[in-house]
Amino acid sequence: MNDANLPSINRNEIDEIIKTVADEAAAYLARLDGRPVRSQGDKTIPAPLAGPLPERGEGAAQTLRALMDHGLDAAVHSSGPRFFHFVTGGVTPAAMGADWLATLLDQFATNSLSSPLAVGLEQVSLDWLKSLFRLPQGMGGIITTGATMANFVGLAAARQWWGERQGVDIAQQGFVGLPAVPVFSSGYLHASVIKALAMLGIGRSAVTTFSRHPDGRVDLAAMEQALRNLKGAPAVIVATAGEVNSGAFDPIGPLADLAQKYNAWYHLDGAFGLFAALAPGTRHLTAGVEQADSVTVDGHKWLNVPYDSGFSFVKEAGLMNRAFAYTAAYLDGSTGGNFNPGSMGPEGSRRARSLAVWATLRAYGRAGYQELVERCLLLAQRMAARVDAAPELERLADVPLNIVCFRYNPGGNSEEALDRLNQQLGQAILDDGRFYAGTTQYQGKVALRPAIVNWRTGGGEIDEFIQVVRELAARLLG
């Protein structure tokens, strides 16, 4: 036995593990397009994977075998082409390979001392993303775990700015003595922004929504009046590029103009909607992005890198440093001037998410991502056309991007009965498992809202999905 080996951990198993996992991965990926999203049956963890902590482990090879034999089937196959729930992308081949390398290298991606590779690739990737989304190259940025945390970072910078405008360093002193932070938005605001405001101590109820339309679109005049009423006191405006139920956009340019006129912070949540900038047909929806003070984009949605990945960009990078300063003598005495993401966001320890982001952008480039976005836009139009052609399906919203909001409406039912039917239909789709698509409330109506962002999805899946919805709906009515 090698002296350096722990008696119970056998390093000789590593070769076998790598080989068997790679073989299983290849077989899994070969089946992914055709397999249902979820196997029917038991929705709990398979019994062979449960049980008490073993006193003596069974070794890596046997354990991994159990995980592959029982775990792969128990997973939701959300990286395949039939997953339209939430807004969930797949994993491109380049991103998958690079993410495996991130585990292999196990980097502590907090600063340029702990991992010059991960942090360097993070900086390169963020510059590439700014170019892709037409954001100013001078913006600061970091990779986060997703759009919720990117919203948190952007709004933390907003909070810091808001305090400094009143002579208070909130990161240092807290909110003591300050009034409430006014946060203005349309009805498109995503729940994660509210969560971020709660985490920041700004509070969920800080938000005032300006909309007179049931779809949530902004009432610009009312927002302007409220800004005027503040008489120069600082505020935060949050705009949404890509509302999660319909893909609708706030008017990014006009809201930016308001922010500028009244000297408000302008935060833009473009978790998936900012990808509209890549396609000539939808680029106009993002006009004005360069005016935002902080911008959120997701990685695990339309970029098709694995969970968890998102991006926060902030025009005045110093605000990120002041909000998230992370200093201790042992961490790094020489970070002055270096990119130091552990001091620009909430995480101290961070995994090397940059490898997957860098690899997928390098592998497919601007043209590859434009192609992917345009394909998804066409597929959404195809799905909308299939919905419109089905007499018992009713589309509830325009399709400006990649989400199709519709419901089953066979006629002759009250709104309450339709809500019940569509709730049952949503559950039936999940139970059936061939596809995943969830229900939402859109303008008070229960609706389906499939979102298309996966690089593997093609026209066949769109047509089959609508067939499945019609089949399950017909079965519901008996």
Ligand X SMILES: Cc1ncc(COP(=O)(O)O)c(C=O)c1O
Choose which of 269, 293, 332, 432 interacts with ligand X (CB under 6 A). Answer: 269
148 binds ligand X (CB under 6 A): yes
Least Cβ distance, residue 279 to ligand X (angstroms): 18
Choose which of 310, 342, 400, 450 interacts with ligand X (CB under 6 A). Answer: 310
Residue type for 364, please? Answer: Y
Binding positions for ligand X, 85-124, rule CB under 6 A: 86-87
Least Cβ distance, residue 204 to ligand X (angstroms): 15
247 binds ligand X (CB under 6 A): no
**x-or-dash string of contact with ligand X, 177-196, rule CB under 6 A:** -------------x-x----
DSSP line for 99-159: HHHHHHHT--TTSTTT-HHHHHHHHHHHHHHHHHHT--TT-EEEEESSHHHHHHHHHHHHH
Which of 191, 163, 157, 245 is CA-nearest to residue 445?
245
Task: Give the nearer residue to ligand X in terms of CB position, either 159 or 190.
Answer: 190
Radius of gyration of the chain (CA): 24
376 binds ligand X (CB under 6 A): no
Contact 185, 210 (CB under 8 A): yes
Choose which of 298, 419, 432, 461 interacts with ligand X (CB under 6 A). Answer: 298
147 binds ligand X (CB under 6 A): yes
- According to DSSP, the residues that pair with 334 across neighbouring strands are none
- Reading the block at residue 179, the tokens are 């009034």
The site for ligand X, by CB under 6 A, has a size of: 15
Q: Which stretch binds ligand X (CB under 6 A): 48-56, 102-110, 238-246, 441-449?
A: 238-246
Tallying the residues shown for the chain, one arrives at 478
Q: Which stretch binds ligand X (CB under 6 A): 25-33, 144-152, 280-288, 461-469?
A: 144-152
- Cβ–Cβ contacts within 10 Å for residue 328, how many? 8
- According to DSSP, the residues that pair with 441 across neighbouring strands are 446
Choose which of 132, 156, 244, 323 interacts with ligand X (CB under 6 A). Answer: 244
Q: Give the contacts of 78 (CB within 8 A, at least 6 positions apart).
A: 37, 85, 88, 90, 436
Q: Which stretch binds ligand X (CB under 6 A): 49-57, 142-150, 249-257, 339-347?
A: 142-150
The alpha carbon dihedral of 38, 43, 46, 51 has a sign of positive
303 binds ligand X (CB under 6 A): no
- Cβ–Cβ contacts within 10 Å for residue 342, how many? 22
Least Cβ distance, residue 307 to ligand X (angstroms): 8
Q: Which stretch binds ligand X (CB under 6 A): 47-55, 220-228, 267-275, 335-343?
A: 267-275
Backbone torsions φ then ψ of 222, nearest 5 degrees? -65, -40
Choose which of 271, 379, 437, 469 interacts with ligand X (CB under 6 A). Answer: 271
Look at strands 294-298 and 265-269 and give their pairing. parallel
- According to DSSP, the residues that pair with 143 across neighbouring strands are 311
CA–chain centroid gap for 468, Å, is: 27
Interaction site with ligand X (CB under 6 A): 86-87, 146-148, 190, 192, 240, 242, 244, 269, 271-272, 298, 310
